[in-house]
Amino acid sequence: MIVPREPALERSRLRNAALVFVLGSVAILAGVLWATTGSDTLTAFGRFGGRLIAALFAVEFLRMALEATGLMVLVNGTQDERVSFRHAFALTLESYFVGQLIPMAAVGVPYQAYLLTRRGVRAGWATAVVIVKGFVPGVFFFLVLLATIVLAAMGWDGPEASLTFLKIVGPLSALPTAFVVVLLVLMLTRPALFDRLADRVAGFLARRLRGRAAERVEEARSLIKDESHAFHAALSLLGGHKRWVLLSGILLVVLATVTEFVVGLVIMWGFGYRGSVVGPVLLQCLLKAVLAASPTPGSLAVGEGGYLGFFAAYLPSQVVGLSLVLWRLAVYFVPMLAGGILVVRRLGKRGTAAPAGDARPDRERP
């Protein structure tokens, strides 16, 4: 297994990505508010109330707590070192900030694994646990996509606007979710074929790129191959001797994923929606797969456009823009602000010595 080292988190790169995300998102939200605000908007917001706004952030906190608990279960159940909930929650916040601004394959996964090694977790297992946790939402979205196809084939009857939105977001979500599942199957059943595929794709890109871009392709190729091996070994252990640890971790990560969609439901309830929760949750699952595949920082533009259509399918037009602002605040802005503060503090301490646990050799667990 690979030994995670401290990723090169350049302050300028993080600052630029954060600046693009914040300014771009604020500009888009301002434009949407200007186009959708009507005479009833402020009245509707007054009826929404402070308690529901607090509930939005409470739900998002619960989501992060469930994700941190899932990480803690996977780590503590596979090796002797223990990670506390406080440390797991801080790691979740930091990795959320980094992963939203910089693609996970580039920095997000190594950064999470590196943070775990600083808590004494063996390096190879830190990488493996993070990868196992990262694949769970993709598989979950794939299962939801299959369930939605079955429901549609059985004549799922819903509001016309929501069905129209489903026809748009459903096909868009199929590509990233199917891609994740194909990679997962190759990693588990044909690791050698996966390595050859990674080599050929990297070679194709390297022949057409020059300079630093070609170097990044080679770095990504090595990283993907190493992480696939770590994933295979971790899943073999968890599925064989630590099955209940694996199932518990997966359940917690799935619960965290579904809890995020409750934020959208609370917003809808606050503005008068009283219909079924099944349709909105299914549509958000499909939409989340599209957002996860977005190459822009914080799913900029893709997130606003997707949830603009989502809220428009269920709510009056005069509160759609306001709903979008509340969603961005609860799901992105506040968690990323908290994670960004922790990341800035860590970058400021980069020169300090690593804990003694970091030096532990990466050995296989029997």
Instruction: Answer whether residue 360 is part of any domain.
Output: no
- Confidence (pLDDT) at 239: 63
Dihedral angle sign, alpha carbons of residues 271, 272, 276, 279: negative
68/92 Cα distance (integer angstroms)? 6
- Confidence (pLDDT) at 96: 87
Exposed e or buried b for every residue in 92-103, given b needs 16+ CB within 10 A? bbbbbbbbbbbe
- Confidence (pLDDT) at 109: 65
Q: Please give the tally of structural domains in the chain.
A: 1
Neighbouring residues of 165: CB distance < 8 A, sequence distance ≥ 6: 283, 309, 310, 312, 313
Instruction: Answer whether residue 153 is part of any domain.
Output: yes
Dihedral angle sign, alpha carbons of residues 192, 8, 103, 133: positive
- Confidence (pLDDT) at 16: 84
Which mean pLDDT values do the consecutive 10-residue runs of the chain (366 residues) have? 54 82 94 91 88 94 95 83 89 88 62 80 74 82 88 76 86 86 78 75 69 65 65 66 82 94 95 90 92 85 93 93 95 93 80 43 39
Instruction: Answer whether residue 163 is part of any domain.
Output: yes
Instruction: Answer whether residue 152 is part of any domain.
Output: yes
- Confidence (pLDDT) at 358: 42
- Confidence (pLDDT) at 365: 38
DSSP 8-state code for residue 262: H
- Confidence (pLDDT) at 93: 92
Instruction: Answer whether residue 6 is part of any domain.
Output: no
- Confidence (pLDDT) at 237: 65
Domain range enclosing 105: 11-350
- Tell whether pTM > 0.75: yes
What is Dmax (Cα atoms) for the chain?
67
Instruction: Answer whether residue 102 is part of any domain.
Output: yes
DSSP symbols for 18-36: HHHHHHHHHHHHHHHHHHH
235/232 Cα distance (integer angstroms)? 5
